[in-house]
Chains A and B, each alone.
Chain A
Amino acid sequence: MAIVSVKNVSKDYQLGKTVVPALRGVSLDIEPGEFLSIAGPSGSGKTTLLNLIGCVDTATSGTVMVGGKDTRSLSERQLTDLRLHTIGFIFQSFNLVQVLSVFQNVEFPLLLQGKLTAREREARVMALLEAVGIGTYRKHRPSELSGGQRQRVAVARALVSRPALVLADEPTANLDSQTGATIIDLMKEMNQRDGTTFIFSTHDPRVMSHANAVVRIADGQIVAREELNGQAAAGGK
């Protein structure tokens, strides 16, 4: 079963008196374990699509199913729970909590979940920090880290709750191309290690090339879905 199933979804934004359509009848299925890139120029609707999949926004029409649940039927609280337990987020501008240390930023979703003991949390967070290569920075504040390091923290935070799905909106946009590449490599490594589904948006062709599938979007409509080098089901079950 598809982990994400988008059916005939439209999204309009109200801008003053005019209605601006951001998505127009988009349909898309994403299978578990995919490492999928959503590509398109600015304003094409990439972010809107990611927001709908990430349950931070609701569609004007159509259905969005995440993890088998129809997001329209869920309350705000249930949507939040869905995000907490099923989805991880990586943001363009990292969005770390400035007043918390690296360790605390990564631990945060686990605290909200409240399922693990302190020792379990520590073990999991440290393992992830080591895995993304910033174990030695656990006590640093985000402001003391470079952009690439911050995004590594963000990746660790997105993965710490072992979500089925990680959404990354332009994860490399604020990074230089080399750092961007290492972040994408890191994401891919995690995708292959745990089989976590990754969906990331980008307009950078070099970043795109790491994906095993690219969904091209323009003017709020999907114009193409390309499979790249046959790795679509690399981590699939």
Chain B
Amino acid sequence: MAAAAGETKILFKIALRNLWASLVRSLFVGGVVALGAFLLVFCVAMVGTINRGMSVSIQNSLGGQLQVYNASSEDKLELYGGMSGESRLVPIEDFAAIKAVLEDVPNVRQVVPMGIDQAMVATGNAVDIALERLRNDVRRLEAGERGPELERSYAAHLGHVRRMVSLLAQELSQARAIADLGGREAKERQQEWEDLTRANTDEFWAGFDRARYERLEFLENKVAKLSLDAAFTFLRYVGTDPQAFFRAFPLAEIAEGEMIPPGRRGILVGKQYAEEYLKLKNARRLDQIKEARDRWRRTIARDEELQRWVKENAIGTREILLQLDPLRAEEVTGLLRTGLGAPAGEDLDALLQRLFQTTDADFDRKYRLFYEVIAPRVRLYSINVGDTITIKAPSKSGYFNAVNVRVYGFIKFKDIERSGIAGMMSVMDLMSFRDLYGFLTREKAAEIAQLKESVQVQELTREDAEAALFGGAEAAPAGGVPDPAPARQSAIDETALLEGVKSGVRPEELAARVYSQEEIERGVVLNAALILEDPGKLSETLAAVQKASDDAKLGLAVLSWKKASGIVGNFVETLQVVIAVGMVIIFLVALVIVNNAIGMAVLQRVKEIGTLRAIGAQRRFVLAMLLVEAMTLGIVFGLLGTGFGVAVLSALRSAGGIPASNDFTYFLFAGPALLPSLSALDTVWSLAVVFVVSVLSGFYPAVLAMRVTPVEAMASEE
């Protein structure tokens, strides 16, 4: 229609030229719109990316799409633990039964058995390890073995332990100088000091060969405990069928070592856990300094934390000194002296201090030197692939259960390996989990039968059985460590044998045993992850799974991965709400500002508007004209703001993203940095919001303008 076209054209002309004519105001209003658009785009991208990252992290590392657990549990399932620790779940008695039902639900691809809990791991100490090596040699000698290689090894290990004792004596004499020796435990302290002094005499060592076991036990029982670094740490693990777990969770990878063979007992220790809790402290701190320097461009010269690490490394050389036997100590001394260009007289301790006393200038060189000279000669991690470790946890009856499991390797979750949430998780076989958690396995059942016979008990409830089983040292379960003293890894089997523990099944037999898939699955689990064919149909499948469970009277509660991830999942939802509220407030403020600015413009243009009306423009013309102004500002500056936002986002991405500064953000970002990106749909959506808000904010002034009467044209000011 030519008529409308001409009118529309002139309408746009007036509107646009008016915007241009009051450029300052247009820029102001536009600036507000652009800022709003920018913030919206930025926040939507951030939250969207975090949300996508989170769902990748959770679904592909532990959560799956759905989780089921016993509906009669007093807590809700929280995969990452709640405020008060692990959720208390009533076990699912027979995983095989629920698996059969749930796998038949359409869209369910896999059902993964799980039991998540925390346990204690003894990490041992250098003295223990040295004594353990020495004991090995002693055993062979006592068995009548001879040979130059054994002699050399025995001499070296003996020298190492002796060196340790002298180091300990030095340390303790320093401690005594400042310790309060008059206190309640003074007598005990005195006894300890005398024991150590005895072990530090030439007579003690001269007589070692005459009574090897006696001296060794003296060292083990009286001296080793004086070494203060005997420690244990907490380990969070998921008991599962490792094969099924790796099939279900694509982010899971073997970082080192090998997969637990099918049907075997074993554990894959979390790689990040190992880095943080199992690695030699000095090495760990060097790694941290290196990362801080390389990744975050921090400098030792200016960063207090780095200075603290350097200092801690320089004064904390003892662990390395203890670990080096005399032979290696000599090698290291020579290599360090050359490497550091130190004067000939300097001893190892001084050299180590020189090594760790790093500055920005020599850090990289000294870092390499550490990994070339020291790392290969010490135990860099207190748990290594191939070790058998003892894991202890309180069972449900309150007594400690312990299991020995072989460390087959280290596990990491791709891209989120650094996260404290995913990277700390270890993966253990279901059998060991059931032992640890206090559930019945076949071996235990056999033991109970044995026990019944020996103590003449007819009936045992499950709780009683546990108490009876785990209550005392005599009734220690297979593979368990009877005494509650810090366990010594890799010494367990032997200790158990030497100390004559009678168990139904020998630990090595247990470790070598291959369980059938049926044995693995017919038993207790705490929860199970469901992997869906099409994760998009989550809510339908959730309903179907719930129905299948109800129909089969399984008594399961079903949760989406988001709900099951508890505070972690809630975090994103909270973030979304906070940002949504923030955006609403920002847009309300923008609305008011734009509204006012356009309103002022209308007031200033009352005469012009009145004139247009007087000479024949209809109200809708005026309304449309003002709305066109608002829309133009909305579109132009909305696009500008969005464009700027997209540019900032892409600049952020090409600059490496927003770095994950702590373990939690690693998990949120699903990697070391957040690469915020905006989907096309989100872009369109954001633009639409900006557009609608601009039109809304222009609407009220436009209505005001529409009501301007032509009489206003007649008013003669000027």
A→B interface (CB under 8 Å): 47, 50-51, 54, 56-57, 76-77, 80-81, 83-85, 88-89, 91-93, 95, 97-100, 104, 107-115, 117-118, 121, 157-158, 161, 169-170, 173-174
User: Which residues of A are found within 8 Å of B614, using beta-carbon distances?
Assistant: 54, 56, 83, 89, 95
CB of B706 to closest CB in A, whole Å: 11
CB of B171 to closest CB in A, whole Å: 89
User: What CA separation (Å) do A111 and B6 show in the bound complex?
Assistant: 5
User: What CA separation (Å) do A104 and B621 show in the bound complex?
Assistant: 16
B21 lies within 8 A of chain A by Cβ: yes
- Check B716–A92 contact: CB distance below 8 A: yes
- Check B616–A84 contact: CB distance below 8 A: yes
**What 5 pairs between A and B have smallest CB-CB spacing?**
A114-B3, A84-B616, A99-B17, A56-B710, A95-B611
Cross-chain pairs A/B with CB under 8 angstroms, 14 sampled: A56-B613, A76-B619, A80-B616, A84-B615, A95-B713, A97-B611, A99-B20, A104-B13, A108-B10, A108-B615, A109-B615, A109-B616, A111-B10, A112-B621
Partner of A81, one of B17, B611, B616, B718: B616
User: What CA separation (Å) do A82 and B18 show in the bound complex?
Assistant: 27
Partner of B714, one of A88, A117, A169, A174: A169
- Check B617–A47 contact: CB distance below 8 A: no
Asked, given contacts A95-B611, A99-B21, whether A83 binds B714 with beta carbons under 8 Å apart, the answer is no
Partner of A93, one of B2, B6, B7, B718: B718
Q: Mark B678-718, 1 if CB is under 8 A from A, else 0.
A: 00000000000000000000000000000001110110111
User: Which residues of B are found within 8 Å of A47, using beta-carbon distances?
Assistant: 714
User: What CA separation (Å) do A80 and B3 show in the bound complex?
Assistant: 17
B607 lies within 8 A of chain A by Cβ: yes
Asked, given contacts A83-B616, A95-B607, whether A170 binds B7 with beta carbons under 8 Å apart, the answer is no
Q: A80-B618, A93-B716, A108-B10 are in contact. List 14 more A-B contacts (CB 8 A).
A: A56-B710, A80-B616, A81-B616, A83-B615, A83-B616, A84-B616, A85-B616, A89-B713, A97-B611, A109-B616, A111-B9, A113-B616, A114-B1, A114-B7
- Check B607–A174 contact: CB distance below 8 A: no
Enumerate B587-635 residues with CB–CB distance to A below 8 Å.
607-608, 611-619, 621
Closest-by-CB residue of A relative to B18 is A99
Closest-by-CB residue of A relative to B21 is A99
User: Which residues of B are found within 8 Å of A115, using beta-carbon distances?
Assistant: 3
- Check B616–A56 contact: CB distance below 8 A: no
Partner of A112, one of B611, B616, B713: B616
Partner of B21, one of A91, A98, A112, A121: A98
- Check A99–B14 contact: CB distance below 8 A: yes
User: What CA separation (Å) do A114 and B617 show in the bound complex?
Assistant: 12
CB of B99 to closest CB in A, whole Å: 74
CB of A20 to closest CB in B, whole Å: 15
User: Which residues of A are found within 8 Å of B713, using beta-carbon distances?
Assistant: 56, 89, 91, 95
B4 lies within 8 A of chain A by Cβ: yes
User: What CA separation (Å) do A50 and B714 show in the bound complex?
Assistant: 10
CB of B101 to closest CB in A, whole Å: 71
User: Which residues of B are found within 8 Å of A157, using beta-carbon distances?
Assistant: 615
Closest-by-CB residue of B relative to A121 is B6
Closest-by-CB residue of A relative to B608 is A97
User: Which residues of B are found within 8 Å of A77, using beta-carbon distances?
Assistant: 618-619
Enumerate B1-32 residues with CB–CB distance to A below 8 Å.
1-4, 6-7, 9-10, 13-14, 17-18, 20-21
- Check B714–A91 contact: CB distance below 8 A: yes
User: What CA separation (Å) do A14 and B262 show in the bound complex?
Assistant: 96
